[in-house]
Amino acid sequence: MALLDILCFPDDRLRTRAKPVKTITARHQQLLDDMLETMYAAPGIGLAATQINVHEQVIVIDISEDKTEPYCLINPVVISHSGIETMEEGCLSVPDTYAEVERADSVVVKYLDRKGAEQKLEADGLLAVCLQHEIDHLKGKLFVDYISKLKRDRIRKKLVKQQRQM
Ligand code: NI
């Protein structure tokens, strides 16, 4: 397994739209393992392949406290949603930044698991928010896109300055 580098906002590569996975191969098994390791080490509760500069529709999520409930989702699609809720979000690609984002309160997501079997996941609360946040990444969208341009520009300046200092 390997720790992967995570792209940081405002890196343009985070704006790439990921392609669907046609055939799940050994490379994807390795990718999922590396993504889980990278997410746990960060530490974070979700990671999309886009964030590690792989532009395929693959995400991993684990919102459990003891990191024992990993979800690996390939080609995830929200097939229904309901309700509205606002939650404070952060992102491994937008370090040290948090903002309230309004999203659906519950979602049903269909996806392929790592064996290629079709699955359906009904989620609400934090898991629903996390799924929507990660699926957004696959579309080149970030949580800071939901806040005002003024705030987003302020975050961009802060992170560009930080990245220059590193
Ligand atoms: Ni994120």
In degrees, rounded to 5, the angle at the alpha carbon of residue 74 between the alpha carbons of residues 3 and 43 is 35
CA distances to 38, 47, 57, 93, 130 from 4, rounded to whole Å, are 6, 11, 17, 13, 20
- Residue 1 in this model has a pLDDT that exceeds 80: no
Compute the distance from residue 68 Cα to the ligand 1 centre, in Å: 20
Q: Are 113 and 119 in contact (CB under 8 A)?
A: yes
Compute the distance from residue 110 Cα to the ligand 1 centre, in Å: 20
134 is catalytic: yes
Compute the distance from residue 137 Cα to the ligand 1 centre, in Å: 7
Q: How confident is the model at residue 155 (pLDDT cuts 50, 70, 90)?
A: very high
Q: pTM here?
A: 0.97
The residue whose two tokens read 């949580």 is 143
pLDDT digits (tens, 9 = 90+) for 55-102: 999 999 999 999 999 999 999 999 999 999 999 999 999 999 999 999
pLDDT digits (tens, 9 = 90+) for 105-151: 999 999 999 999 999 999 999 999 999 999 999 999 999 999 999 99
